[in-house]
């Protein structure tokens, strides 16, 4: 079901982003660890891209570079044709970028959930009443009862709650570029469903969504293009359809096939005529709820 809140979004110009021949290393006192060398990628406006790769392959670093939280030592990062770290924190472009950290508590700095979620709104001159209304709407959208949570300290929340509150603090601004680092990690199945439903809606509205995740079920649902990172380079860049249907390729990267694929294969074995493509969970539900599905049993 469409949420009235998301339907009311007034979309601004889309954002295209680009990494041009970047090199990036973390530089500690006595150690330099190189993450990217001469690495390039382009994300089209409105694209829904999943980023996969083993631990330490540079997924979080990639998002931080795109958000302007890290700067490459060489090369360029361009968000709407500008370097993200040069954007004034409160400019139009900047407010259109929402980043969800892998560890949500790293992005909290307010005393209560309500202040945390409303922070960006306050900085854009939204009235106190509007701020409160908007915060509560978004918290409800994520399955919270706002009364029960708004006065809590964000630092006392469970990991799942913290992730949803961090997501709410981004959603209030209607960003048109979302950078999500493991958005469903630590969420229960209701939380993950709520998150997925929102991402579906945002996608339909043309939001560019770049999602880092190990969860092939999530990425199969919300991403059309998948990039697999390995040792600072792109090991795969193609459609979700290609990667997820190729079990050998997927297993080579250390991942399981999405459950929807296994379900589709099971239906096929039972005689259901299926196209040779990735089906969403909703499509499978629809197929199995049709009368012809009776024959399958």
Using CB under 5 A as the criterion, which residues of the chain lie in contact with Mg ion when the complex forms? Answer: 59-60, 102
The interface with ligand ATP within residues 72-131 (CB under 6 A) comprises: 102
Partner interacting with residue 57 (select from ligand ATP, Mg ion, none; CB below 5-8 Å by kind) = ligand ATP
Task: For the chain, give the DSSP string.
Answer: ---HHHHT--------EEEEEEEEEEE-SS-EEEEEEEEEEEE-TT-EEEEEESTTSSHHHHHHHHTTSS--SEEEEEETTB-GGGS-TTSHHHHTEEEE-SSGGGG--SSSHHHHHHHHHHHTT--HHHHHHHHHHHHHHTT--HHHHTTS-GGGS-HHHHHHHHHHHHHTT--SEEEEESTTTT--HHHHHHHHHHHHHHHHTT-EEEEE-S-HHHHHHH-SEEEEEETTEEEEEEEHHHHHH-HHHHHHTT-PPPHHHHHHHHHHHTT----SSPPPHHHHHHHHHSGGGGGG-
Q: How far is the CB of 180 from ligand ATP (least distance, A)?
A: 12
Q: Which is nearer to ligand ATP, 193 or 256 (CB)?
A: 256
Q: Determine, following the binding rule CB under 6 A, whether residue 61 of this chain makes contact with ligand ATP.
A: yes
Q: Which is nearer to ligand ATP, 93 or 226 (CB)?
A: 226
Q: How far is the CB of 34 from ligand ATP (least distance, A)?
A: 8
Q: How far is the CB of 105 from ligand ATP (least distance, A)?
A: 15
Please classify residue 141 by burial: count the beta carbons closer than 10 Å to its beta carbon, then call 0-12 exposed, 13-18 middle and 19+ buried: buried
Q: Which is nearer to ligand ATP, 59 or 94 (CB)?
A: 59
> Segment contacting ligand ATP (CB under 6 A): 9-17, 57-65, 116-124, 237-245?
57-65
Q: Determine, following the binding rule CB under 6 A, whether residue 163 of this chain makes contact with ligand ATP.
A: no
From its phi and psi, is residue 115 left (phi > 0), alpha (psi between -120 and 50) or beta? Answer: alpha
Q: How far is the CB of 246 from ligand ATP (least distance, A)?
A: 22
Q: Which is nearer to Mg ion, 139 or 180 (CB)?
A: 180
Task: Draw the binding track, 28-47, toward ligand ATP (x: CB under 6 A; -: no contact).
Answer: x----x-x------------
Q: How far, in Å, CA of 37 to CA of 20, rounded? A: 11
Q: Which is nearer to ligand ATP, 69 or 78 (CB)?
A: 69
Q: Which is nearer to ligand ATP, 66 or 177 (CB)?
A: 66
Q: Determine, following the binding rule CB under 6 A, whether residue 216 of this chain makes contact with ligand ATP.
A: no
Using the rule CB under 6 A, which residue among 43, 57, 75, 221 binds ligand ATP?
A: 57
- By C-alpha distance, which of 234, 259, 188, 283 is closest to 37? 234
Using the rule CB under 6 A, which residue among 10, 30, 55, 147 binds ligand ATP?
A: 55
Using the rule CB under 6 A, which residue among 13, 21, 26, 76 binds ligand ATP?
A: 26
Q: Determine, following the binding rule CB under 6 A, whether residue 53 of this chain makes contact with ligand ATP.
A: yes
Residues at the contact surface with ligand ATP, assessed by CB under 6 A: 26, 28, 33, 35, 53, 55-61, 102
């Amino acid at each position: 079901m469409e949420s009235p809140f998301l339907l009311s979004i007034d979309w601004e110009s889309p954002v295209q982003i680009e990494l041009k021949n970047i090199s990036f290393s973390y530089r500690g006192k006595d150690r330099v660890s190189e993450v990217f060398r001469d690495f390039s990628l382009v994300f089209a406006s409105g694209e829904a891209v999943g980023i996969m790769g083993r631990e330490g392959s540079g997924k979080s670093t990639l998002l931080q570079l795109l958000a302007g939280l890290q700067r490459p030592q060489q090369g360029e990062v361009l968000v709407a044709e500008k370097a993200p770290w040069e954007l004034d924190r409160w400019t139009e472009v900047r407010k259109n970028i929402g980043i969800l950290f892998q560890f949500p508590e790293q992005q909290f700095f307010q005393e209560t959930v309500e202040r945390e979620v409303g922070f960006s709104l306050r900085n854009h001159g939204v009235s106190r009443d509007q701020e409160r209304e908007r915060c509560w709407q978004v918290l409800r959208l994520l399955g919270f009862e706002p009364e029960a949570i708004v006065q809590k300290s964000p630092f006392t929340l469970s990991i799942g709650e913290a992730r949803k509150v961090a997501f709410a603090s981004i959603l209030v601004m209607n960003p048109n570029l979302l950078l999500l680092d493991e958005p469903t990690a630590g969420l229960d199945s209701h939380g993950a469903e709520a998150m997925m439903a929102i991402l579906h809606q945002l996608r339909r509205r043309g939001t560019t969504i770049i999602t880092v995740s190990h969860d092939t079920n999530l990425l199969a649902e919300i991403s059309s293009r998948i990039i697999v990172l390995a040792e600072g380079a792109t090991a795969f860049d193609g459609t979700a359809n290609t990667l997820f249907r190729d079990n050998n390729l997927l297993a080579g990267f250390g991942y399981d096939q999405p459950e929807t694929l296994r379900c589709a294969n099971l239906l096929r074995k039972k005689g259901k005529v299926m196209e040779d493509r990735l089906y969403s969970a909703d499509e499978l539900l629809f197929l199995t709820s049709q009368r012809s599905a009776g024959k399958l049993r």
